[in-house]
Structure 1
Amino acid sequence: MTFFIFLLKFSKLILYFKLVSSESFSAEEPSTCKVFEPTLPYGRLKKHIFCNYEQEIRPREQHKNTTVNILLLPKLMEFDSGANKFTLNSWLRAEWNDDHLKWNPEDFDNMAALHVKSYEIWLPDLSVWNSADLNSDLIFSSIASCFVAHTGFVACIPFIKTTVHCSSDYENWPFEKQICQINLSSYFHYSDEVTLKVVQDKIMMDQYVPNQEWSIVSITATQVPGYIWPTVVYEFHLKRHAGIMFTLYVIPGIVLMMLTLVMLWMDVNSVDRISLGSVNFICHLFCLYDLHWQITASGRAIPYLLKFYQNSLALAVFSMVLTILLRNLQVVTTSSPNWISSLAVFVLRYRLGRLFILSDEEAKYFVEVEEETENNAESMQYVTIATKKEDTWKRFAKILECLSFFCVLVTYIVLLYTCIPKK
């Protein structure tokens, strides 16, 4: 056992001497550039700049701040309403000053600028903090070309594809407006080291290709003050092109509303009324089934249009049930309660009530009776017609039918005002 412990300590000692010897050898090795001496001015300039250049070192002194000016140049935009994801393809112009990339143009044949690759110089560690794809949240994840001037001015324009989640609102579907944000920030540098500054409030849209379904209403860029990391928030206001959606879903809802009202206006004993009510009910079901495929289920609120169809379906079912009830009331032969007779008499006292309650023949007969009994008590006229036992239930059914029609009409007017989406 003692022998094995001795071998272990001996091996550790040998390893220690090897590490020390390697470190001393590396320390003695001079840090020089390549022996090759370029002859062209471009080669000599790159060797002069990048001989001892370190990409990891921030291009300012430790106590000084590096200001990075950014400008967004959108190219393509996509919005997945089902997944609530906003994807933006764009260029991002980033500019800053690097004190380590300065030279005198007279020493290099008046060469005042050069183009380099992004991996050769220091880059601001910009990232999309609210990215939905964490594998591609870094802005400079791909190689880009950068412009370097002799004054130390650096400009890079990487092409980026950013996908973020949106807090969507589908209440006004299909005319809803979505708001999506892209939060740009530094990954490691604090606000006292790096400052992000928006070049201009207006975003350049010269190279933007319009989307077929969504349009960008406005874009705002805001610098977040007082935050520990430098942050810029781009807010995109989107609006759907909903002309086709209006034709496919809003107009059919209005047509179904008219079918329900026409059904209630028809004679309760008509077979056509039952047929129209059945077709109306089936059409409501088909429209709701189609809407269930079009409207995303990820929204936080029920769309107004879906509420309209839901309430319209309830009114269609009410109309069918009312039709069956009224048809049964008209064949009732038992004597009616006093309150039903009183209600019929009260309604027939007024010409408007007689207009909706009485048929043409009954109205003509009522006029003749009214002329003959002009000098008698008025109540006798109404009682003569309204209190017949065989007609009381029919009068009551007609009153219910008229009241139901006007109640449904008022309900639809309210639904049109509150539930039809506004453009």
Structure 2
Amino acid sequence: MSRSGLFSVLLFILDVIYNDVIASSSCNDVESKSTMMQLKRHLLCEYDSEVRPVQNNNNMTRVTFRMIPHFLRYNNEEEFIELHAWIAMRWHDSHLTWNPEQYDNIQSIPVSGSQIWFPDILIHNERIGESLLGYSQAKCWVRKEGTVQSLMPAKYITYCFADNTWWPYNTMNCTIQIGSWSHSGDEIELVPLQNMSLQLNSKDVEWDLLKMYVTKWEGRYKYNLGSTAKMLSYHFILRRHWGIIRIAYISPTIVLMVITLTALWLEPKSFERMMIANLSFICHLLCLHDVHWEVPKSGSNVPKLIIFYESSFAIASFTLILTSILRHLQELTTEPPTWISVGTTSILRSRIGQILLVSILDPAVTAKIEIDADDNTDLVQSSNKKSPWRYVIVLVGWFAFLSVLLTYIILLSTCFPTYYTVIP
């Protein structure tokens, strides 16, 4: 090697040594004017933020975690929850300890989260790339014994599990799983604080927050099969607000039921009955079309309100068809078959038949029923001068009305949702 080359190498070595000496001397410069700056340089001079702050690598870092919800919103179209919260954490850093007597009795110092080791506590069931955690915005306070406290804002976005049994008064369990992203459960232990408050500064106008609670979850660690991952699951139980929903989806069911029963109550030959039966059929179609677009497409269980609408639509269709058939029978002049006449006569002569039909039977027929109770004469054919099918139509109308009324009572008791049906 030539002299010039050897000289260049020597200059490079001397420059490196000089920079290291200057940097080390300035890092722990005791001549600084500020005691706080001296303490920070003393603590952070050779501090490595990538190394977990324990003396023994087998020791576990205990991180106390607290979530303070601030704003909660549910997106109906994409069916996810957006939570804005404050995240408070506390842990012990064995590398950040000092004697206050040597530093003007300083008990604590503020540091940035990017300057020290910070637990990477993240959401594990998020919408990829949408949840934010402000590590760079985290403000930490370090005490003399090495206790570190941090406070930072966070936004979590995740999907919810909906129970649509009593929709629209349905509930949702929105769960946010929190845990370390790169450390196993043997390295970091999360300890939750249970005092979560329901008092949010902002609430969704459509959903009510019923309660919040936290549970622990443990599973296999994603990077090492020999370790376990320990996470916290924060559960937010939401229930749809009752005000607008009651007017939009619950009240029409009562109106449709009344319209259908009114159609069955009227005389089959009346124009009003046919008009109301058609109106009921059309209103059922419109309501089913509207509910189809509003009912959630995901979640477990079919909403019982859909079963109610479907059954009520079938009843409205039956009412319309029955009305058309009875109006056609009203125009017939031929005598009904013998088995129909005999059955109708038996019902008319029974006590129940007299109670139900007393308002439509004329006095002559009523007297004949009482006198000829044991006679097998065909009452329907002998007494009806207007239409031989008149009493058959009346009996069918009564049976239809009572059957539909009973069906609606069963539907109301089993499928009709109320605000108090859902118990959180």
Q: Structures share a fold, TM > 0.5? A: yes
Residue 173 of structure 1 pairs with residue 172 of structure 2: no
Displacement of 1:184:
0.6
CA distance in 2, matches of 1:33, 1:169: 65
CA distance in 2, matches of 1:318, 1:239: 36
> Residues 323-334 of structure 1 correspond to what in structure 2 (within 5 A)?
323-334=323-334
Residues 194-251 of structure 1 show CA distances to partners (whole Å, capped at 9, x for unaligned) of 111113x231345543332212211111222575122111111111111221122211
1:98 corresponding residue in structure 2:
93
Residue 350 of structure 1 pairs with residue 343 of structure 2: no
Residue 68 of structure 1 pairs with residue 63 of structure 2: yes
CA distance in 2, matches of 1:119, 1:41: 22
Normalised by the length of structure 2, the TM-score is: 0.86
1:395 corresponding residue in structure 2:
391
2:43 is aligned, of 30, 40, 49, to 49
CA distance in 2, matches of 1:256, 1:51: 78
Structure 2 gaps, min length 5: 1-7, 221-227, 420-424
**Matched residue type, 1:288:** L
Contact 1:164 1:182 in 2 (8 A): yes
2:26 is aligned, of 17, 25, 34, to 34
> Residues 21-420 of structure 1 correspond to what in structure 2 (within 5 A)?
29=20, 32=24, 34=26, 37-61=31-55, 62-134=57-129, 136=131, 139-199=133-193, 201-205=194-198, 208-225=201-218, 228-357=228-357, 360=360, 362-369=361-368, 373=371, 378-380=373-375, 383=377, 385-388=379-382, 391-420=387-416
Residues 307-361 of structure 1 show CA distances to partners (whole Å, capped at 9, x for unaligned) of 212221111111011000011112223332221011111101123213434654x
* CA spacing shift, 1:106–1:238, aligned 2, 3 Å: same
Larger helix proportion of the pair: 1
CA distance in 2, matches of 1:205, 1:367: 70
Q: How many residues align?
A: 397
**Matched residue type, 1:398:** V
**Matched residue type, 1:366:** V
CA distance in 2, matches of 1:33, 1:135: 44
CA distance in 2, matches of 1:123, 1:184: 15
* Identical columns (%): 31
Contact 2:198 2:209 in 1 (8 A): no
Normalised by the length of structure 1, the TM-score is: 0.86
* CA spacing shift, 1:136–1:82, aligned 2, 3 Å: closer
CA distance in 2, matches of 1:256, 1:205: 39
- The alignment partner of 2:162 has SS state of coil
Contact 2:98 2:144 in 1 (8 A): yes
CA distance in 2, matches of 1:150, 1:218: 38
2:223 corresponding residue in structure 1:
none
* CA spacing shift, 1:22–1:408, aligned 2, 3 Å: farther
Q: What's the RMSD between the two structures over aligned residues?
A: 2.6
Contact 1:125 1:140 in 2 (8 A): no
Contact 2:84 2:154 in 1 (8 A): yes
Contact 2:131 2:157 in 1 (8 A): no
CA distance in 2, matches of 1:293, 1:399: 41
Contact 1:196 1:223 in 2 (8 A): no
**Matched residue type, 2:246:** F
CA distance in 1, matches of 2:12, 2:142: 38
Which deviates the most, 260-269 or 413-422? 413-422
Contact 1:72 1:204 in 2 (8 A): no
Displacement of 1:188:
1.2
CA distance in 2, matches of 1:133, 1:33: 46
CA distance in 2, matches of 1:140, 1:123: 12
Displacement of 1:24:
11
CA distance in 2, matches of 1:141, 1:392: 88
* CA spacing shift, 1:206–1:32, aligned 2, 3 Å: farther
CA distance in 2, matches of 1:140, 1:33: 34
Contact 2:198 2:212 in 1 (8 A): no
1:8 corresponding residue in structure 2:
none
**Matched residue type, 2:138:** A
